[in-house]
Structures are given as structure tokens and as C-alpha cells.
Structure 1
Amino acid sequence: QLVDGAGFCSGRLEVKSSQTWVSVCESDFDQQDAEVVCRELGCGVPVDLQGGLYGEGKGQIWDKEFQCKGNETRLLDCDTSERKNNTCLHGHTVALTCSEPDNVRLVGEASRCAGGVELYYQQEWRTVGTDDKDNYRKNIAKVVCRQLGCGSNVSVVPVNTTTGTGLYCTGSEPGLRECATWMYVIPHLFTVICSGNNKAFSFF
């Protein structure tokens, strides 16, 4: 899992060891390892990797070095080896930012952090709608803005120009794929404006 980041696709890396979440030392982690993590979380590609970016980890440090090839499905499917360096300060634990998920986007505006909501579902992009209730729209907007790393939702504007796939979120889901999907079209669409701006990252 990635914790203390803007969304579930960014944060300090932790892996589960004997029912306990532990941090990973950045010296034991490379781009191939990052590719596997981003894929496992359902995010895009890794775009930033640097220690300490999302705060210092607490507690134990993962005691092995990952040896991923980059095509594994899960990080714990990767080979591991004994760590070369037995010391790792908490300020040097892995902090990873993956690109936005491939299955959600905002379209129709100049910024990637504003527009109509689209979800990649059953091999096609579908416009998202919900029941004509303000809190339903706000809950979806909250999840989308967080998932795309765009901060919080600033405004939600109803539009009724077409139909879309129905969706229901509580607002606490890490991504739209965890929300309930209604298998019928619904006319109550909306546009979302998030507080964040698009940022460019480089891989260190």
C-alpha cells in the first residue's frame, strides 16, 4: 500500500509482513519494483521515486531487497535477496508516485482536473451519471479528485445533455472502481472541478 499521499496512487510504500505493515528502504527498490507496485494498485506508470517525500515511516523496515523483473502482478511475487545494508533511516524509505489510473478521467475542460467523469468499463469509456441528488454527485467528485491526485472537489455542476452509466459512491472509496455501478443508463450527468493542478514529475 501507499500511505500519506494525495491518493491511493502516491505515498510512502508499505508491505505487509506477518500481519504488520512495514516500510521499505529506498536503496533496496528500483524502477522495476515501482512498475509492479503501480500495476498492483491499478494505477498508471511510476513517475516519481524518492525517499522521504511522504514523511518518515515508523516501526520496522522490510528486511529484504526486491528483485522484480517488472512484469510481475504483485510485489510479493518478485524474487527477494538479503539486504546489502542493514541500516536504513526512516527518512530514506520508499516514496512513490504513480501516474493517474488508466480507468478514470475528466474530459471536456482545459485541465485534467476538471470536466465530465468517464470510467473505463467493459472495454470502453463510459460517461458517469448518478441519481439527481447533490450529495450523490459530490461523493463521486470527492472520489475522482482524490483518485486523480487533484486535491478536493471545488464544485459539481449538473448537466443533462446526454445519458451515462449510473454510479453510486459513499465518498470514502479509494477509487471509482470500488463504487457501486448500476447496469443501466441514467440522464443525470455532471462536471467536476477539483482544487489541484496537473504536476509534472520526473523519475529520480
Structure 2
Amino acid sequence: MNIYSVRLVNGTSLCSGRLEVRSTQSNQSTQSTQSNQSTQWGSSVCEEDFDQQDAEVVCRELGCGAPSVLQGALYGEVEAPMWTKEFQCGGHESALLDCRSSGSERNTCSPGKAVGLTCSEPVRLVGGASRCAGTLEVKHQGDWRPVAGSVWTLKAAAVVCRDLDCGSAVSTERRYESSRRKVWWIDSDCVQSASPLRECVTSPSASSSSLDLTCSDLLLQPNISMDGVSEAQQQGAEVFV
């Protein structure tokens, strides 16, 4: 089980929420002096002491994709201890507490300025006509691998399309190759239960099959112009028929 120095709370998954840092005794407020598990969490970070490189490190530490939103109070404001020093990450560190921090300390933070962060889910479709179609790959334990598993329904595939901001699911297809390769095994029933996809990975294995998905944003969207000429758009390109 991974032990994180950070977490995102009040979001929709482990990859989004208000940033909290697991504090040591010296970093906690004087009102929070116990060393049990519950009081180690709770130090929020002021937006002024946090930048894009810091966000990249947090997302990496949590096993999520790249940061997509960084905004103060996006996931609620709390009366909680503040982390008192500015993080100075280079962006390559594996954990936030591995980063250097400033020597000066901050005693206050303006209301609405606690860091809220959204990281992308570590999911992608590769080898298709666009980012919204192709072989499903998931990043787990630091490795991108294709997905294999039980038969996937459109309901399960819809979770992936939603995470990728690709509309709804159109089709799923199991693809076979001549050789076996390392894959992540994922049960579609877990995905349908609204659990984050990467939390549904049960075990690594070797398989000759993988899963191809197509989401609706790939499809041609017909539009009728004023002069009666039909147009279709696909991923920003225009096709006249």
C-alpha cells in the first residue's frame, strides 16, 4: 500500500480536491499536537505558495495524470492549519515533500486561497483516429499498459469516455494479437460501479488480447447549412458531402 505525503479531499476522486499535506509535529499548529493518524492530515497549502511544477509533483505522487486545473478554493475552503513554507519543486520530484521549500514562513493565507487541484485520470486511448478512439491503456504503479478483462459493456466504456472528456461510448471491441504482452487486468463490473478506473486494476498479467474503445466525439456530426449543403465535422476538421 502506497503511503502518500499529500492527498486531495472533497473532490470526485483521488485525483481531484483540495490539497492537504501530511504534517509532522513541527509543521502543525499549536492547537493540533497529537500524533495520531487523524491529526497528521489537515495542513492546507496557500495558492500563492504553489505553482504548476508543484502541481505536477502532487499528481505524479498520487499516480494521477497531468494537472488540468489549479485554482484556489475550487473544492471548498476550511478553517485548517496552513502549510507555512512555499514549495519550490522542479517538477521532476516523485513526492511533494522531496521538494525544496523556502526559508521564510507564512502565517496567514487570504480566504479562498487554499489550493484546489484537478489531475487528469491516468487513462488514454492510443493508436486510433483521435484521442477519443483506440486501445485502452491505464497507468498503474508507474507503468502504462493495455487493458484486458472480462467483456466490457458500453456502460463501463462510458466511464472511460467521460474521464477523457470524449462524450459517450459508441463501441467496444476485443482485439487479439499474435504475441502475448503485459497488460492490466480490469473487471468491467468494478468500473460500472463508478469506482475510478485505476482502482479497478486487479493484477498484472500477460495476454494476447486488449480492449479497443470508440467514444462519440470521434463521430461525424452532420450540420445543415442555410444553402442546403450538408456539412460534417470531425475533431475540428470540416468535410463537405
TM-score (norm 2): 0.58
Partner-residue secondary structure (3-state), 1:181: strand
Amino acid at match of 2:165: C
- Calculate the aligned-residue CA RMSD, in Å: 3.8
What residue in structure 1 maps to residue 207 of structure 2? 185
What residue in structure 1 maps to residue 232 of structure 2? none
Change over 3 Å in CA distance of 1:84–1:132 after alignment to 2 = closer
Equivalent pair of 1:156/1:190 in contact (CA under 8 Å):
no
The runs of 5 or more residues in structure 1 that have no matched partner are 196-204
2:171 pairs with one of 134, 153, 157: 157
Q: Equivalent residues in 2 for 1:108-187 (5 A)?
A: 108-119=127-138, 126-132=145-151, 134=153, 138-139=155-156, 142=159, 144-145=160-161, 148=163, 150=165, 154-155=168-169, 157-163=171-177, 165=183, 167-169=185-187, 170-171=190-191, 173-176=195-198, 179-185=201-207, 187=209
Equivalent pair of 2:186/2:200 in contact (CA under 8 Å):
no
Percent of residue pairs bearing the same amino acid type: 41
- Equivalent-residue separation in structure 2 for 1:59 and 1:122 (angstroms): 34
What residue in structure 2 maps to residue 30 of structure 1? 51
What residue in structure 1 maps to residue 8 of structure 2? 2
Change over 3 Å in CA distance of 1:46–1:175 after alignment to 2 = same
- Once the two structures are TM-superposed, the CA of residue 187 in structure 1 deviates from its matched residue by 4.2
Amino acid at match of 1:168: I
- Once the two structures are TM-superposed, the CA of residue 37 in structure 1 deviates from its matched residue by 1.1
What residue in structure 1 maps to residue 82 of structure 2? 62
Equivalent pair of 2:50/2:86 in contact (CA under 8 Å):
yes
**Higher strand share goes to which structure?**
2
Equivalent pair of 1:138/1:156 in contact (CA under 8 Å):
no
Across the two proteins, how many residue pairs are aligned to each other?
186
Amino acid at match of 2:21: V
TM-score (norm 1): 0.66
Change over 3 Å in CA distance of 1:10–1:113 after alignment to 2 = farther
Q: Deviations over 1:154-189 (max 9, x none)?
A: 336332442574622423554437611351325473
Partner-residue secondary structure (3-state), 1:3: strand
Amino acid at match of 1:158: T
In our comparison, the structure showing a higher alpha carbon Rg is: 2
Amino acid at match of 2:173: V
Equivalent pair of 1:28/1:83 in contact (CA under 8 Å):
no
Partner-residue secondary structure (3-state), 1:50: strand
Equivalent pair of 1:36/1:68 in contact (CA under 8 Å):
no
The runs of 5 or more residues in structure 2 that have no matched partner are 1-6, 24-38, 218-241
Aligned: 1:13 with 2:19: yes
